[in-house]
Amino acid sequence: MNGMLLSMVAYDDEGNPDPTTVKPLIDGGTEGFKGNVRSVVPGITACLECSIDLYPPAVNFPMCTIAHTPRLPEHCIEYVKVLLWPKEEPFGAGIGVDGDDPKHISWICGKAEDRAKEFGIEGVTYRLTLGVIKNIIPAVASTNAVIAAACATEVFKVASSMYAPLDNYFLFNDVDGVYSSSFSYERNPECLACSQKPQLITAKPLDTLQDLIDALKEHPLL
């Protein structure tokens, strides 16, 4: 969506965006008791790619902990998913874990309970197993309502021009009480999506396609 909206923006000879081609984007999301709203004006404000660094990395458990010293029920579930499943292949050779198949989840949950008992760990449930396998983040109705209302308010501002829109990032947190703040996230001048700045990659005459792919992987911005 980010790339599509940016591709619709036309620029004049001086590199300024044509306002008639700009389609604003209001984006919101929640994670448990936390939420955020962003107002993106393609070609003018920071795009989604500019703020990609705000996203925390995915939670990964060390393999040594999973295999030898589990301390949490999640460690037991990951052990069954990562190590035991490929070894035992409970539903046939080459069949991977399907998070939407209750039989798969039940098998993993049962094996995880056995491992949890072995290490004196409590808390392995079907629901937790499903959450770990599918990386599900619990939704909180009150947080969803706040963020949905904030998004609707921003859409109304943009559509009616009755009030200045958000500039351009809003945070909400009600883990301990209620906290909210807003700030202006600046555009990344090196952003691959919206900066209109080409990135140079040096290649040798005898480089192959694989060399180009490797260079793209190692490029700090790509």
Give pLDDT tens digits for 146-179. 999 999 999 999 999 888 888 889 999 988 889 9
Q: Which two tokens stand for residue 38?
A: 């962003």
Q: How far apart are CA 78 and CA 222, in angstroms?
A: 30
Residue the block writes with tokens 């399907």: 98
Residue 38's DSSP bridge partners are 27, 169
**194 tagged catalytic:** no
Q: How far apart are CA 61 and CA 75, in angstroms?
A: 7
Q: How far apart are CA 94 and CA 92, in angstroms?
A: 6
Q: Which two tokens stand for residue 115?
A: 């491992």
Contact in structure between 199 and 222 (CB atoms under 8 Å): yes
pLDDT tens sequence for the chain (222 residues): 888 898 888 888 888 889 899 999 999 999 889 999 999 999 889 998 888 777 777 677 888 889 899 999 999 999 999 999 999 999 998 899 999 999 999 999 999 999 999 999 999 999 999 999 988 777 889 999 999 999 999 999 999 988 888 888 999 998 888 999 999 988 888 888 888 777 777 888 888 999 888 888 877 666
Q: How far apart are CA 39 and CA 170, in angstroms?
A: 9
Task: Say how many residues make up the chain.
Answer: 222
Q: Which of 47, 50, 64, 109 is catalytic?
A: 64
Q: Which two tokens stand for residue 42?
A: 């393609």
